[in-house]
Amino acid sequence: MSQGKLIVISGASGVGKGTVLKLMMEQRSDLFFSVSATTRPPRPDEVDGKHYFFVTTERFQDMIHRDAFLEYDRHNDYYYGTPRDQIAEKRQKGHVLLDIEPNGAKMVRSTAPDAVLVFIMPPSVEELERRLRGRGDTPEDQIAMRLDRAKWEMEQRSWYDYVVVNDDAQRCAQEILNIIG
């Protein structure tokens, strides 16, 4: 059986990637989420092993040394990486969705040139800031840092395969599903 595709979905924090990904997976049974490892502490609604594997910095660095990551990056003060082991297994069953930022996306593109890279834009920067604050679970100093980072991330969209706008989560999810085919 041929392998499923690697679908990279990037977009600034607060752009609504989580909702879009959830809607996509509700509509298709052949899509599998790549669960990243991170050293960031869990948010109240996050489940270990489902949203992320929450690990210590020591463990994360040990995984780097063992070449256990398809890609990884350090941003917003924390490490984030895609463990390799789950990817092959999930690609036997369908397409794999990676919610990762541009540095990681670049690493995926160089190691897996057939990966499909999609960048999600907010309707505007003002709307992104409103959404970041509205979530209410991010401290103010981190909001400023994330906004700076968001601006840099949005500049990176030029080298992605597709750029979509999340003006409406359902419409955006459908647009990405059409891209996947």
Q: Give the interface with ligand 5GP as residue ranges (CB under 6 A).
A: 13, 36, 40, 71-73, 80-82, 99-101, 103-104
> Least distance (Å) from ligand 5GP to the CB of residue 49?
14
> Least distance (Å) from ligand 5GP to the CB of residue 175?
18
Measured from the CB atom, the residue of 84 and 93 that comes closer to ligand 5GP is 84
Measured from the CB atom, the residue of 20 and 100 that comes closer to ligand 5GP is 100
d(CA 65, CA 18): 30
Measured from the CB atom, the residue of 29 and 65 that comes closer to ligand 5GP is 65
CA 45 vs. chain centroid, Å, equals 17
Token duo for residue 137: 């679970």
d(CA 68, CA 119): 25
Residue number, nearest CB to ligand 5GP: 104
Provide the residue type at 75 as one letter. Answer: H
Residues 6+ apart with CB under 8 A from 18: 99
